[in-house]
Amino acid sequence: MAAVNMKEAIINLITKDINDFFESKNNTFTKKEFSDFISTSSKNAYDTCYLKKGSKRNSKKNTADNTENAEEKPKKALSEYQLFMKEQMKILKESGDERKPNDLMKEVGKMWKAKKEELAAACK
């Protein structure tokens, strides 16, 4: 189907849906009701015109299946950097440091950089 024909088909579907909406509400509705309707109607028109019969907009299958698969997979191990950040942030918080979290992260980042430079120098 050509792009122009597809555009016309979508416009026709939405126009029909709008007319049906007005009739069902006797021309009295809230702004939110109309906004929700337009959002749903345009998605339905797109799905009708562009997607193959039986396919869904979201490529993921049943979300329950995805949840089960996620539980089966072991979590990825934390990197050396993540472990260092976690440990140092805990130490700084326990010491009563009252700085903002961003400032603490910057400080720990500088500590990480210094540690990596020391290790690199020691390996030479």
Looking at residues 5-25, what average pLDDT do you find? 75
Report if residue 14 sits inside a domain: yes
Task: Pick the more confident residue, 80 or 9.
Answer: 80
**Is the pLDDT assigned to residue 1 strictly greater than 50?**
no
pTM above 0.85, yes or no: no
Taken in order 78, 84, 85, 88, the sign of the CA dihedral is positive
Please give the Cα distance from 68 to 113 (Å, whole number): 39
The number of domains in the chain is: 2
End-to-end distance of the chain based on CA atoms, in angstroms?
66
Please give the Cα distance from 81 to 37 (Å, whole number): 48
pLDDT-above-70 percentage for the chain? 69
Q: What pLDDT, on a 0 to 100 scale, did the predictor assign at position 110?
A: 93
* Six-digit token string for 101: 């979290």
Residue count of the chain: 124
Looking at residues 93-122, what average pLDDT do you find? 87
The boundaries of the domain holding residue 42 are 3-53
Q: What are the CA-CA distances from residue 83 to residues 71, 73, 77, 95 (Å)?
A: 23, 21, 10, 18
State CA 96 to chain mean position distance. Answer: 35
Give the pLDDT confidence of 34-84 residue by residue, as tens digits.
777 777 766 666 666 665 555 555 545 555 555 656 567 788 888 888 888
Report if residue 115 sits inside a domain: yes
Report if residue 69 sits inside a domain: no
Report if residue 72 sits inside a domain: no
